[in-house]
Amino acid sequence: MYFPFGESAQEGPCDVERINGFKLYEIGKKLAQISQHEGEVSPGDVVFDLFEWSNIVKELLDGDPFPVGFSAARATDLKSRMDDIIQQHAFFTNESGERKFRFPKKDDPAIPSWVWTQLRTSLSEFETVLRDEMREAATYYVPRRGIYLTSALVDSADDCFPSEVRGHVPPKTCDDWKAAGRCLAFNLCTASGFHAARAVEGTLEAYYQTFSGKPGKTLRSWDDYIKALQKIRDEGADPSPTAKTLSELDQMRTFDRNPIMHPRIVLTESDARILFGSSESLIIAMAQEIKGVKTAAGVQPELSLVKPKENGKDGEAA
């Protein structure tokens, strides 16, 4: 179940939170115990239950497992009645005027039946309002998309990038990839394809900068990037981008990225999953090549393994 709220996913934290549905069951189970008590009730029998019930309602008011709306007023009233009973029957004022907890004794006055009746009435009123609120709550079941776990698509789609190349995937690629996974999970197929293409473009930019040796340099379009990279390859530069990666980039540009920019193109779930898979492969492939170039550039010549010249002759490798 998911409750959408908060800031835009593109400008702030994720605006979809995954909740623990079992927490709702636990809340209902605990609060239902209130109705088991009638008449006068010994405070010693329920004092710790009252603390637990009050804490449960407090957590709900604090947004756990989700923020409550117009039922908050009834929840506050319910908690106040619990706290009043606790203060009346489990706390005393010492000589310094401080309120201290004391476990009720057997001969302490019982909680009057009318107080307990008011508490049950307050609970009933809260349940009624909460029931109406839950009917309008944005609670949905999100089916699994292929082999992808819903929680993984919504929360951490970028975990699909292998750890050995993760550091070479640009942050903006990861941001768009998370958005692509989230959209795919909620069956926003065209939006998922759009973000997947943007994620590839984010890595393509870094890919070009790596092979061109021009950090920070950007070009206007995929076509410009691919042509510039192909020129680097044609000129025999070492290192050069691979023909396979350039071919797949150009194919995605022609058949996926360019068409999806037009409003008349609408992707089906199958379309979105195909593009999601191919985009993942391309991003990983480019990240691997970027890693290879940077790793090679960081390797120092093995001068210490070469013997110095003797008698005008080159030394042999040690």
pLDDT at position 14 is 53
Instruction: Kindly report, residue by residue over 4-27, the tens digit of the pLDDT.
Output: 333 333 444 456 677 888 998 999
DSSP state of 299: P
Contact assessment for residue 211 and residue 293, using Cβ atoms and an 8 Å cutoff: yes
CA angle 185-261-200, nearest 5°? 60
pLDDT at position 300 is 34
51, burial (CB in 10 Å: exposed 0-12, middle 13-18, buried 19+): middle
Residues of the chain with pLDDT under 70: 1-16, 299-318
Q: What is the number of other CB atoms lying within 10 angstroms of the CB of residue 149?
A: 12
Contacts within 8 Å (CB) and 24+ apart, 312-317 = none
> Is 150-298 in CATH node 1.20.120?
yes
Alpha helices per DSSP H over the chain: 21-31, 43-61, 72-90, 113-136, 150-155, 163-166, 171-185, 189-212, 222-234, 243-252, 258-260, 269-298
pLDDT at position 181 is 96
Listed residue (195, 142, 203, 134) closest to 167, CA to CA? 203
pLDDT at position 301 is 32
Alpha helices per DSSP H over 218-268: 222-234, 243-252, 258-260
pLDDT at position 141 is 81
pLDDT at position 314 is 42
- Domain boundaries along the sequence of the chain: 2-136, 150-298
pLDDT at position 297 is 80
pLDDT at position 12 is 46
pLDDT at position 250 is 97
Listed residue (192, 42, 58) closest to 106, CA to CA? 42
Instruction: Kindly report, residue by residue over 155-164, the tens digit of the pLDDT.
Output: 899 999 999 9
Round to the nearest angstrom and report the end-to-end CA distance of the chain.
64
